[in-house]
Structure formats: C-alpha cells, structure tokens
Amino acid sequence: MNKMMKSSISLIAALISIVAGLLVGLGVMFAIGGQEPLRAMGILLTSGLPGNPEFGKVLYQAAPLIMTGLSVGFAFKTGLFNIGASGQFTVGSFVALLLGLVFKMPWYVCMIGAAAGGAIWGFFPGFFKAFFNVNEVITSIMFNWIGLYAVCVSIANIPPMLPRFYHPSGITNETAKFELAGNPGGLIPKIGLDKLFGSPYMGAGVIIAILLAVLVWVILNKTTFGYELKACGLNKSASIYAGINAKRNIILSMVIAGALSGIAGSLYYQSGVSQFGIKIELAPMGFNGIPVALLATSHPLGIIFSAIFISFINVGGEKMQQLEYSTQVIAIIIAVIIYFSAFFFLVKGFLAKVIGLDKSNVNAEPAPVIAPAGEESETVLIEPAEREE
C-alpha cells in the first residue's frame, strides 16, 4: 500500500502546488487591474496544449532548457553548484556557429564542437575547485562574463560569421543564418516534425535532449562512474576513504556539466529559431536551468518534464500579450507559478504527516518492532530519520 499511497500523495501535492500558484497568479492579474484576468489565465493554460499551433514551440524551446537543467542538475548530484551554465552555453553556441558558418560542418560536428566548448568552460571552475579549493560559484560567475565578452569580440571579428559577409546590406550585430552562409546542413534535421507540429523550428532537437537526459540518468544510476560522482557529492571524506579520486571527479563533473550546457547552445541556435546577437547580456537559458533542475530535484528524467512545464508556461505567457499584458507582468505571473511549484515538497511532507505515512522519529535511535505473538524472532527495526545535529 505504501508505494501506491506515496505516489498518489505526490500527485495530489503537485496539483495543490500548481493550483495554488495559478490562484495567486490570478490574484496578481486582478490586483494590477489587467484585461479580463480569467480569459488571460485561460490563454496561459491552454495555448501550449497539444493540438494548438504553439505546442511545437513548447517542445523546441524545452530542448535547450532540458540541457541546461541537466547541466545544473548533474553538478548538484555531485555536490557542486554550476551557476556557470550561461557561460558554457555561450561558449558552446560560439563553437557550434563557428564550425557551421565558417567551416560549413554538418550539424552533428557542430553539436560535438559545442559540447567540447562547454566542457572547456566547465573545466576551469572544476580545476580551481579541485586543486585550490576555490568556490566553483565564484569562478563560474566570472567565467560567465569572460565567456560572454570573449565570444562577442570573436564573432564581431570573424567576418564569415556575420550576414554582411554574404550580403552587402546584411547587419553586423548578430550572426548569419545557416542558409545565408550556404550551409543548411548545419541545422538540426527536422525529420518531418516541422510539418507534423506546424512549426518551422521544430526538429530532432527535443528528441536529442530527451535521449541525453536518459543517458545522464544511466550514467548516474547504472555506472561505477556515477556511483563515484554521487559518493563524492554526498560525502567527500568517505569517498576519499574509499580510494575514490575526488579531485578527478570534481573536474570531470564540471566538464560534463559544461558539455551539457554547450549542447544546449547547439540545440538552440542550430534549430534556426534565433541568431546569436552581439550584446552584453548573459544568456538567460543558463540561469533558467536552475529552476528546471530544482523543480525536478535534479532527477534527470524529472528534468525532462520540469523543462517542458516551464516552457509550456512561458509559451502561454507570450500569448497573453494579445490581451495587452506587458512582458514584465507576464514574467511576474510566470515567476509566481514556478515559485509555488517549488512548494511541492512542503505540501508533500505536510500531506504525508497528516496521513501518518511519515515515520520520522526525532530520536537517532530506532525503535524496535514488536512482532505479533509467535513470531518473536522476526523482530525488525524501522527507519527513523536521523536528526541532523
């Protein structure tokens, strides 16, 4: 009964959190005196549903989110906070665009290049953490800016990456489209999905992201490598005691997290949805990976769903503009909904307590089970949660 109960509690808790978020979001709309709040909420909630033209957008926008979510989540699992996903995303994007626009490489070579670029950008914070115990958060933030400036300067100074190179009236503040550069093969294949979903940017990207999420799950849960990485994250002293090379694992963990963010850049720009703009603004995609990972408690398969959920809310939010809601107000409403979704665990814990499933005992010692008469030898101990000192 326990497993059934637990999963139904999770489901109820998820529904309560989301409904609470929607209600508060609705409250915000009423409070600011927005146009027809109920209709706006309806648009927010239905635009991204399957069958609507925007459903494709939900999916192709989810693909890079899955990747940055995986990047942050993977690092979390190994005890590191990768706030550098943005920089890794930017460097990855640059390498993909460089290979695609200048060297006219096929899409998969660009993608591998992006992974390598992100990996290099993840290596530095990992290296400094492992050998000099410099907090990875500080290094990652600095590398976000170093990456951004370096990439912008490079793109501005590599003419074949800019539209002006191919057409005299082309602009110079963003990169050229793959078609313009004469390398449509640099775009991720559509494999008919663009027609199926009625969206020109829909392609194999989301499938690649989901496959990579499964791969990350396999690495973390089925391999000795993942076993070592998680052990280092959960208890570094015990891993060192067990002969695990903690320094190597910290670096590898950041390298892999960086590669995942790099692929996010490839999935985003090689879908054709947008061109890399030369502007001094950190890529938000990297930071959006943080709530994606947190909502899924860093579970790689959960990240697929949390990324789709956040993409769904974002797409619905964009559609609200037709009722003259400003993008800032929409951002607040989306933030409120995501914020409340994070209450899921609180609600779940509360429900479990009310129903009495929570067996946590404030004692560090377990209490014994007294077996029914006649089975006295079958004494087993229950599991009290140890109180953290």
Partner 1 sequence: MSEYVIEMLNITKRFPGILANDNITLQLKQGEVHALLGENGAGKSTLMSVLFGLYQPEGGQIKKNGQVVKIDNPNDANELNIGMVHQHFKLVEVFTVLDNIMLGVEPNKLGFIQKAEARKKVMALSDKYGLQVDPDALIEDISVGMQQRVEILKMLYRDNEILIFDEPTAVLTPQEIDELMEIMRNFTKEGKSILFITHKLNEIMAAADRCTVLRKGKYMGTVDIKDSSKEELSRMMVGRDVNFKVDKEEQQLGDVVLDVKEVSVASKIHAGNAVKDVSFQVRAGEILCLAGIEGNGQTQFVHALTGLDKMSHGSIALCGQDITKMSIRNRSKTGMSHIPEDRHKHGLVLDYTLEQNLVLQRYWEPAFQSSGFIKEKDIREYALKLIDQYDIRSGQGPVTTSRSMSGGNQQKAIVAREIDKVHKLLVAVQPTRGLDVGAIEYIHKQLVAQRDEGGAVLLISLELDEVMNVSDRILVMYEGEIVGEFDPKTTTVQELGLYMAGAKNQYREVEQFGVEQPKESEVSQHE
The binding site for partner 1 (CB under 8 A) comprises: 222-225, 227, 230-231, 234-235, 237-245, 356-357, 359, 361-370, 379-386, 389
Is 118 in a helix, a strand, or coil?
helix
> Measuring CA to CA, which residue among 127, 116, 384, 371 is closest to residue 258?
116
Rounded to whole angstroms, how far apart are CA atoms 265 and 208? Answer: 13
DSSP 174: B
Shortest distance, position 241 Cβ to partner 1, whole Å: 4
Q: Give the Cα separation of 43 and 321 in Å (integer).
A: 10
Terminus-to-terminus CA distance in the chain, angstroms? 32
User: Distance between CA atoms of 205 and 42, rounded to whole angstroms?
Assistant: 29
Q: Which residues pair with 174 in a beta bridge?
A: 277
Amino acid identity, residue 137?
V
The DSSP secondary-structure symbol of 281 reads -
Residue matched to tokens 């000795």:
224
Closer residue to partner 1, CB minimum distance, 3 or 279? 3
10 vs 245 by CB, closer to partner 1: 245
CB of 368 to partner 1, least distance (A): 4
Residues 6+ apart with CB under 8 A from 165: 159, 176
In the complex with partner 1, the residue whose CB is nearer, 322 or 360, is 360
Nearer to partner 1, 103 or 225 (CB): 225
Q: Which is nearer to partner 1, 132 or 241 (CB)?
A: 241
Q: How far is the CB of 44 from partner 1 (least distance, A)?
A: 38
Token pair recorded at residue 90: 């930017």
Q: Residue written as tokens 């799950």?
A: 217
Nearer to partner 1, 7 or 35 (CB): 7
Tokens of 147: 């990456």
Q: Whose Cβ is closer to partner 1: residue 190's or residue 299's?
A: 299
Tell me how far, at minimum, the Cβ of 296 lies from partner 1, in Å.
18
- State the minimum distance, in angstroms, from the CB of residue 379 to partner 1: 7
Cβ 215 to partner 1 shortest distance, Å: 13
Q: How far is the CB of 153 from partner 1 (least distance, A)?
A: 41
**Minimum distance of partner 1 from residue 352's CB (angstroms):** 11
Report how far apart, in Å, the C-alpha atoms of 309 and of each of 59, 117, 226, 243, 342 are: 10, 28, 27, 41, 13
- Nearer to partner 1 (CB atom), residue 226 or residue 291: 226
Rounded-to-integer distance, Cα 266 and Cα 282, Å: 16
User: Are 277 and 105 within 8 A, CB to CB?
Assistant: no
